[in-house]
Structure 1
Amino acid sequence: MPKRIALLGIYHESNTFAENPTTLIDFEKGHSLTGQDIRKEYEHAHHEVGGMIEVIDAAGMELVPVVFSEATPGGTVSGDTYATLKAAMLARLEEVLPIDGCLVVPHGAGVSENFPDMDGDWISAVRARLGDDIPIAGSLDLHANVSPLMVASTDAFVSYKKNPHVDQRQTGKAVAGILVKMLEEGIKPKQVLVQVPQAISIEQQFTSNEPCKSLYAFADELSRKEDILSISILLGFPYADVQEMGTSLVIVSDNNPEAALEVGRQLESYILENRESFVGTKNDIPTTIRMVADRAKPVLLLDMGDNIGGGSPGNNICLLEGLEADGTYSYFVCIYDPEAVIRAAEHRPGDAFDLSITGTAKEGLKDITLSVTLLRISDGHFTEDTPRHGGQVNYYMGKTVVLGRSNGSVIMVTSLRMPPFSLGQLTSCGVDPAMFDVVIAKGVIAPIAAYAPVCPSIIQVNTPGVTQADMTMFSYKNRRRPLFPFENP
């Protein structure tokens, strides 16, 4: 009789500064999967669930997919939504018992109205139901804000090591590999959590560049120490006002918590000794537009204040207004405005008309009216066959219109918020990113995996919004103290 391994997850990165809560419909528009539909969606995807499936299958064990619920990053998960998701997950888990092991797939930065440590809450509920004798291992996004409850409720966590997250499938394989060794070889993982008194600025979290490049190289050296099974550096998600916000380390040992703690303290010392390098510089919009002149085209402008992958609304028009006022460069930009899509779709491709788009400016919501030509109407479906940030294969941005400007610029308007994780978002609509001087992507680092092959120059722009780069501009009530750069420990 093969060992039975349950797989379940509630996956959300929650921005507590975003105005609108995340509701059940947002999960339904994302991924709300049960049973074998989870395998169907992810078995061949670049996602951690795909890696888990691969390893469990190879070990001759029976994977029992239970629930995987995921929504695009957004505001705090409403109390009713989380209660519904959690109750459904636990009910379906009950139906598949008994099991021999469990794989959990949180994001690590989930927040609900009633449970600021949402991931810790549902994982601890799973632990309570399974008891201490059933091994539980899980994956984490490297933007996780890790709580003691999350670590106490599991035997081993392993996080992504790359940002953009192109190693999600490998992470899933590593997590499942530890679980398999627990069941087949009897290893006894012991993990420790070190919460570093530092919050790393979001634009400094590009793992292939400094300062993260040297940090991860140091972690790789430490991973060779005896009894160390895994080192996870959780760079943190600064847009959640919760106690565990900030950088943390999860070190998994083979029954040697002292060795794990020693490694954690060494990494913590390294981060604090180099704390200033993790703050970063901030380019405002006028400075950025001046910088474009001397850069190889197209230039990728990363709209950090409207980072959809960090929970922003996806409708910031600050860069659009700046480029329109300057008038020098052709550009591409994607904006979320379902009402504008409806109005534009009343026309036919080739029609010229004035369209009002509602977006977020520095002073708040406002309408901007532009003369446009309708180039294309799309159903919003596209696919990605290469590992990109997020690990997904199938995408849906809702009904979408592609609008041309007289200077060759293109504005794409979508009915659903869609993080810019794949060039398929453009090419599926007949848009060639190489044709522009400037390509605006509403993100910080994640879009680089998709856009760098066609954009020789990249500039991160400190735009206003609920994901603005300077975290010290937000008003926190619940974060831990001291925490650099707010305080100097």
Structure 2
Amino acid sequence: MAFHVLTAEFVHESNTFKKGETGLDDFRDSALDLGAAAVDRFGDVNAELAGFLDAGRAAGWKITHTISAHATPGARVSRAAFDHIAGVICDAARQHRDTLDGILLGLHGAMVPAFCEDGEGELLARLRAIVGPEMPIAVTLDLHAIATPAMVAQAQVFVSYKTYPHVDMRETGRHAGRLLDAAMRKAARPVTLRAHRPMLDEANAGRTDVPQTAALYARARAHEDEPGIMAVSINAAFAEADVAEAGPTVLVTYDADHPGASARARAIAEGLADTIWEQRDSVSNDFLTPAAAAAIARDFDASHGPLVIADYADNPGAGAYGDATALLAALLEAGATGGGFAPMIDPEAAAVLHRHRVGDTVTLDIGGKQDANFGGGPLRLTGQVVHLSDGSFTGDGPILGGITHSFGPTAVFRSGGIDVLVVTIPGQMLDLQQVRTFGIEPANLRFLVVKSMQHFRAAFEPVAGKVIVCDSGALATPQAHLRPYTRLPRPFWPLDRF
């Protein structure tokens, strides 16, 4: 008889310093798809759900998929949004409890609802109360998870991404599915243990293009070949969440029925965590000021591809507002021309531009409207509307390939020789189609600013003549001391020196 597995995706990375809340409409803007609609959208792309389905087909499961809910990283998740999405999952578990053999969840690991600090732990506790203590629950996590003791206490299996930029979502889903199948078949008795270190995040935030960080993940893969070791997950953590359990963790899922596996799992977890701690000063990024980045852009020879400037601090993928103006102001002041800037998240400016036609000259205030203390206030600019769109795009790169999203009402505004992509709905730069769809072709530019920390590299680095990284002073600045942490247990690196 086929195993019956309940699946769901509920993903949010919460920046606790950001104003407001992430509500249900923010999930609708990205993904809030039920059952078959979610399978149609995410069932054959690079997503955890696709990996769940792959594993299920291979094992002959019956799968009931409940919901795929994703929102762009942002402020704490509202209670209404959390209860609604968690309710869909829990109601299905309650409905099918008597026939279920296992549960497979795609979570982030750094979700902070408005009413508690551990959204994933809360969801898992609610599910565990419904299905009882024995049912196998397997979970996939983002590499930037803040994996808490409460999470580990409620599920047997954890598998995190091993790439940043994240390009292994589907394989992560398959891996978790295989381990869940082993648990349901009684071929293994998985248990997960956790090691933690008191630091905001791994020195390079888990970048797997940095040799010393990549070596951690290579060790994790090698350990997974050891008898009794089922998964080794290195979670670099998320520095923009001020919560008591913050910090990088190593999770090792092992077979409790295999002799010696428990002790070996503990040695693996602590050994990797020790290396993370020992490498805490080994930061690879060279964070340039806006003025320094602008000077390079002004004089850049783009014969071998454009200069790609990552506005690290204003990354919407870390919950930053995406409307910081410090770098754009510096580029304009330096006289840097022939460039692109993507995106500027400013619904008000997008609406103003959409009241005009392509070719119109417009003067307006752009950006800096959310918190001028982080990344600068509004810029009054005069320029030309060169493109108007509903903001829909379909990715074709390693992260978003085949997935359709929308920036909402979108415009390209050309001012001072720079094409600014002005959007309504937040999103970081992950895919070339996020600019090409709107008439911005990187090959035709001297420079291109992308609001992203690291994910942009998967699609944009291959077409770049050079990549540089800028700290514009926005909400996700690497200068952590500029954010008012109050929940961290002190001392905590790098806010305190050890």
TM-score, reference length from structure 2? 0.93
Aligned to 1:150: 151
User: In the TM superposition, what are the counterparts of 1:111-126 in structure 2 within 5 Å?
Assistant: 111-126=112-127
Q: Which residue of 2 aligns with 1:401?
A: 411
- List aligned pairs for 1:312-461, cutoff 5 A: 312-333=320-341, 334-359=343-368, 363=373, 366-388=377-399, 393-405=403-415, 407=417, 409-461=418-470
Whole-angstrom distance in 1 between the partners of 2:373 and 2:253: 47
Could you tell me whether the CA contact under 8 Å between 1:151 and 1:192 is conserved in 2?
yes
Change (3 A) 1:201 1:185: closer
Residues 200 and 235 in structure 1, CA contact (< 8 A), matched pair in contact too: yes
Q: How far 1:83 moved relative to its partner?
A: 2.6
> Secondary structure at 1:431's aligned position in 2?
coil
1:295–1:457: 8 Å Cα contact kept in structure 2?
no
Post-superposition shift, 1:202? 7.1
- In structure 1, the residue matched to 2:488 is 479
| SS in structure 2 at match of 1:211 | helix
1:291 to 1:328, Cα distance in 2 relative to 1, 3 A: closer
Question: How much does 1:288 deviate?
Answer: 2.3
Distance 1:260 1:350 in 2: 63
Q: Tell me: CA distance 1:198–1:224, structure 2 relative to 1, closer, same or farther (3 Å).
A: farther
In the alignment, the residues of structure 2 paired with residue 209 and residue 413 of structure 1 have an alpha-carbon distance, to the nearest angstrom, of 32
Match of 1:282 in 2: 287
Q: Assess if the C-alpha contact under 8 Å between 1:200 and 1:279 holds in 2.
A: no
Is contact 2:204–2:213 with CA below 8 Å preserved after alignment? Answer: no
Tell me the secondary structure at the aligned position of residue 348 of structure 1: coil
Equivalent residue, structure 1, for 2:21: 21
1:235 aligns with 2:243: no
Range moving further from structure 2, 190-199 or 276-285? 276-285
* Alpha-carbon distance, 1:423 to partner: 1.1
Q: How does 1:213-232 map to 2 (within 5 A)?
A: 213-232=214-233
- Alpha-carbon deviations, 1:55-84, whole Å to 9, x = none? 112211111101222211100112233233
**1:286–1:404: structure 2 CA closer, same or farther, 3 Å change rule?**
closer
TM-score, normalising length from structure 1? Answer: 0.94
Deviation string, structure 1 residues 89-118 (Cα, Å, up to 9, x no partner): 322332233311100111100001111111
Query: 1:179 corresponds to which residue?
Result: 180
Per the TM alignment, residue 394 of structure 1 is displaced from its structure 2 partner at its CA by 1.2
3-state DSSP class of the match of 1:277? coil
Moved more, 314-323 or 288-297: 288-297
Give the match for residue 60 of structure 1: 60
Would you say the 8 A contact 1:145–1:237 is kept in 2? Answer: yes
CA distance in 1, matches of 2:215, 2:100: 41
Within 2, Cα distance between the matches of 1:91 and 1:149? 22
Q: In the alignment, what sits opposite 1:90?
A: 90
Counterpart for residue 39 of structure 2: 39
Using the alignment, how far apart are the partners of 2:85 and 2:202 within structure 1?
A: 31
CA change 1:392–1:470 in 2 (3 A) is farther
- Deviation of the 1:130 alpha carbon: 0.9
The one-letter amino acid paired with 1:306 is: D
Identity, in percent, stands at 28
Regions of 4+ moved over 4 Å = 201-204, 278-281, 294-297, 360-365
User: Does the aligned pair in 1 maintain the 2:205–2:236 contact within 8 Å?
Assistant: no
Which is further off, 394-403 or 221-230? Answer: 221-230
Give the aligned residue type for 1:399: P
Q: Which amino acid aligns with 1:196?
A: R
Measure the CA separation in 1 of the matches of 2:431 and 2:130: 39
Match status 1:270 vs 2:286: no
The alignment covers a number of residue pairs equal to: 487
Match of 1:300 among 308, 314, 317: 308
Letter in 1 for 2:322: G
Alpha-carbon deviation of 1:328?
2.9
1:310 matches 2:311: no
8 Å contact kept, 1:202–1:444: no
Deviation at 1:291, TM superposition (A): 3.9
Task: Report deviation, 1:181.
Answer: 1.6
Matches of 2:185 and 2:274, distance apart in 1: 36
Q: 1:439 to 1:114 in 2, by over 3 A?
A: same
Secondary structure of the corresponding residue to residue 265 of structure 1:
helix
Greater mean deviation of Cα atoms: 48-57 or 291-300: 291-300
- Alpha-carbon distance in 1 for matches of 2:367, 2:336: 24
Q: Does the Cα contact within 8 Å between 1:201 and 1:279 map onto a contact in 2?
A: no
- Does the Cα contact within 8 Å between 2:191 and 2:255 map onto a contact in 1? yes
| Distance across 1 between alignment mates of 2:251 and 2:191 | 10
CA distance in 1, matches of 2:372, 2:80: 33
**C-alpha distance in 2, partners of 1:329/1:202?**
34
Alignment match, 1:206: 207
Contact 1:382–1:425 (Cα < 8 Å) also in 2: yes
User: Any conservation in 2 of the 1:4–1:64 contact (CA below 8 Å)?
Assistant: yes
Cα 1:439–1:201 change in 2 (3 A) is: farther
Contact 2:203/2:280, CA 8 A, preserved across alignment: no
Q: Does the Cα contact within 8 Å between 1:302 and 1:458 map onto a contact in 2?
A: yes
The alignment's C-alpha RMSD in Å is 2.0
1:142–1:132 CA distance, 2 compared to 1 (3 A):
same
Give ranges in structure 2 of 5+ residues lacking alignment: none
SS at match of 1:45: coil
CA shift for structure 1 position 488: 4.1
1:359 is paired with a residue whose SS is: coil
Partner residue in 2 for 1:7: 7
Whole-Å Cα distance in 1 between the matches of residues 301 and 96 of structure 2? 57
Structure 1 distance, partners of 2:8, 2:47, is 14
| Contact 1:239 1:467 (C-alpha < 8 Å) held by counterparts | yes
1:346 deviates by 1.9
Unpaired runs of at least 5, structure 1: none
Structure 2 residue identity aligned to 1:353? V
How far apart are 1:40 and its partner, in Å?
Answer: 1.0
Q: CA deviation at 1:386?
A: 3.3
* Shift in Å, 1:155: 0.7
Q: Which moved more, 1:304-313 or 1:327-336?
A: 327-336
Once residues 272 and 421 of structure 2 are traced to their aligned partners in structure 1, the CA distance between those partners, rounded to angstroms, is: 43
Question: Which secondary structure does the structure 2 equivalent of 1:244 belong to?
Answer: coil
One-letter amino acid of the structure 2 residue matched with residue 234 of structure 1: N
1:419-441: per-residue Cα shift (whole Å, max 9, x none)? Answer: 21111111111220122222111
Q: Deviations over 1:313-350 (max 9, x none)?
A: 11111110000000033221121111212221222222
Contact kept? 1:203, 1:444, Cα under 8 Å: no
